[in-house]
Structure 1
Amino acid sequence: MVKKKQNTEVPINGLYDEDGKLFGEDDQAPGFEATDADAEDVEEVTEEEEVSLSQEELVALCRESVCPECDVHKEAEGIRLRALADAENVKKRLLREAEELKKYAGESVLADLLPVLDNLDLALAHTDNLDAACKNFVIGVDMTRKLFLDAVKSHGLEAVEAARGTEFNPEKHEAVGTVEEDDLGDNVIAQVVQGGYILKGRLLRPAKVMVNKA
């Protein structure tokens, strides 16, 4: 007669029951009790999973949660509007500077050409009492001056009005001296020493004149 072997194995670490079977997932090992720390860990994991939102979702949630009448919202809206206004002003300023740069691109070149006009004017100013043989020369100089002046006018250069008897204007004229002539009124131009020029509405060089003081 074969005797049945008695099960004398002791459950290891409480993983087996009295019949030698493993505890199931839903069973609790003897002597095992859930602690508050374990419960808190489970809650923390759950909370972390719940707040794992994308950036777009967080922004949308923030917009929905902030009241339009809130001081923080008003301040943020004011900062945004000021930033937009500043950006628009910078854009307009850059466009204006670009247009001005394009408009007056030839200013330095035309300024360098003004002495040529000055010398032609001086040559024509000393043509009195010349004999007939020099008349053709004077005519040639005068034609050269007119052609040169027409060329620079096509680029927006114009002469400053500064004829004798014209009222002195400090915005366009530069007084280099005074004279006293009875046939002229007070504070009028008696003599033009050097012509002035305006480039597209901007004063390139003032006219140097002698002003009459009655």
Structure 2
Amino acid sequence: MVDEPEVSLSQEELEALCRASVCPVCDVHKAAEEIRLRALADTENVKKRLLRETEDLKKYAGESILADLLPVLDNLDLALAHTGNLDGACKNFVIGVDMTRKLFLDAVKGHGLIQVEALRGGEFNPEVHEAVGTVEDGELGDNRIAQVVQGGYTLKGRLLRPAKVMVAKR
């Protein structure tokens, strides 16, 4: 028996020999290459989608908590709206409620909550305002905010709750 010399190939050389032995113009090879490329593209798309979803999850993680706290802010606003005919003894109480509201607003602003601009006479914008009714108002033109019923808020650019407003019509 004749001893044949031992052949040693690197992984790259072995892969090159395998590729050379498979017919590159063969339909099976083309189909396998298409499947491989499609799988690589799908994998990249999944990675990108998961990164985007993770970033959104981190960005809006406090959304439900902040949405649950909005009624507290609404009640503080409502309490301050009905302080017009109070006597002097209640002034300190009103100042305390106002300070509490400001502290609360500062705390939620730190988490990205911003009040939607809705002022009497301002332009009605259906993207951030919800019309709950119309009123005739000779002082204001059509499609202007006549009254703010409930404040609206955005969280880091996303509308959390639209401002509920009455819209002027002539």
Q: Same fold (TM over 0.5)?
A: yes
TM-score range, shorter chain: 0.7 to 0.9
Q: Structure 2 stretches of 5 or more lacking a match?
A: 1-10
1:1-214 aligned at under 5 Å gives the runs 61-214=17-170
- In structure 2, give the amino acid aligned to 1:102: K
Cα deviation, 1:119-151, whole Å, max 9, x if unaligned, reads 000011111122222222111111110010000
| Shift, 1:58, TM fit | 8.6
- In structure 1, give the amino acid aligned to 2:92: N
Which structure exhibits the higher relative contact order, with contacts defined as CA atoms closer than 8 Å and separated by 6 or more residues? 2
| Shift, 1:68, TM fit | 3.4
Q: C-alpha separation between the residues in 2 aligned to 1:61 and 1:72?
A: 18
- Mean CA deviation greater in 96-105 or 66-75: 66-75
Q: C-alpha separation between the residues in 2 aligned to 1:213 and 1:83?
A: 58
What TM-score comes out, normalization by structure 2 length?
0.86
What TM-score comes out, normalization by structure 1 length?
0.69
Q: C-alpha separation between the residues in 1 aligned to 2:138 and 2:122?
A: 15
Q: C-alpha separation between the residues in 1 aligned to 2:142 and 2:86?
A: 34
Amino-acid identity (%): 84
- In structure 2, give the amino acid aligned to 1:75: A
Of the two, which has the highest radius of gyration?
1
Q: C-alpha separation between the residues in 1 aligned to 2:119 and 2:30?
A: 63
Q: C-alpha separation between the residues in 1 aligned to 2:27 and 2:123?
A: 62
Higher strand share: 2
- In structure 1, give the amino acid aligned to 2:91: K
Q: C-alpha separation between the residues in 2 aligned to 1:70 and 1:213?
A: 73
- Mean CA deviation greater in 178-187 or 66-75: 66-75
| Shift, 1:118, TM fit | 0.3
